[in-house]
Amino acid sequence: MVTMRRLPSSNITGPPLDPGPWNSGRAWLINRARGHMLYQRRVQEKPDVANMERIIALINESEVSNGVPTQGELTHCGLYHPDFGLHQIIVRRSQQDPSRVVLVAAIDWEAAQVMPRWALGRVPDIKGDISDDLLAHCHAAMLNDDLYRRAHVDGLQARNLCTLAQTADSPRPRVELLENFRQRKWTDTATMAG
């Protein structure tokens, strides 16, 4: 089997069981929880089915309970770059103001994914590329965009549910993640890769 990066792999035996598209963010999360978005592998441990079903039941709860938006702009999909950082962008100096730079292109899109807008409200992980002060400045600038700000704030609970969904098909469930979710102990470390 050859992966999406065109790299041969002896452990990968087939494409994802269900790479989409899906009709809702909830359907997207359920497919993540079932592991259907991952490449099929030769060696695969059996998931803890009871844990998977608990998380799928949580995904199927109401928006008030699980935070997954079901209507409005945050349910629309957008493009996600899983490896975005300063080493993945090309810039040039502004012709009008040489002290400023203009984004020309983002590169390395082979693992790009389409996902609900609420899932895209996470701060990009570019910490190793810039200082904490500049990172804070970049985040503040991103929050000036109304749609990003709403996705960042209103999508926090759903992004943490995404963390649960990514781990739902594990043979060794992380029970503390489910407990933290139920106790509203959320962080913004949810990732959408994979």
Question: For the segment 141-168, what is each residue's pLDDT rounded down to a tens digit?
Answer: 888 889 888 998 899 999 899 888 988 9
> Residue 190: which pLDDT band, with cuts at 50, 70 and 90?
very low
| 166 within a domain of the structure (yes/no) | yes
Residues counted in the chain = 194
128 compared with 60, residue with greater pLDDT:
60
The answer to whether residue 7 scores a pLDDT higher than 60 is: no
| 5 within a domain of the structure (yes/no) | no
Count how many domains the chain has.
1
| 109 within a domain of the structure (yes/no) | no
E strand intervals along 59-160: 77-80, 89-93, 101-106, 113-116
| 4 within a domain of the structure (yes/no) | no
Q: In this structure, are residues 48 and 33 in contact, taking their beta carbons and an 8 Å threshold?
A: no
| 52 within a domain of the structure (yes/no) | yes
| 187 within a domain of the structure (yes/no) | no
> Residue 173: which pLDDT band, with cuts at 50, 70 and 90?
confident
- C-alpha span between 43 and 12 (Å, rounded): 9
The answer to which of 1-10, 14-23, 92-101, 178-187 has the lowest mean pLDDT is: 1-10
Q: What is the mean pLDDT of residues 86-92?
A: 84
Cis geometry, peptide bond prior to residue 21 (ω within 30 degrees of 0)? yes
Range of the domain at 77: 14-82+114-182
Query: What are phi and psi for residue 26, nearest 5 degrees?
Result: -65, -45
What is the reported pLDDT for 193?
Answer: 35
| 193 within a domain of the structure (yes/no) | no
The answer to whether residue 192 scores a pLDDT higher than 80 is: no
Q: Residue 71: what residue type?
A: Q
Alpha helix ranges (H) inside 2-46: 25-33
| Tens-place pLDDT, residues 21-72 | 888 999 999 999 998 888 787 777 888 899 999 999 999 999 999 999 999 9
Output the pTM of the full model: 0.75
40: tokens are: 């099929």
| 123 within a domain of the structure (yes/no) | yes
The answer to which of 10-14, 98-102, 123-127 has the lowest mean pLDDT is: 123-127
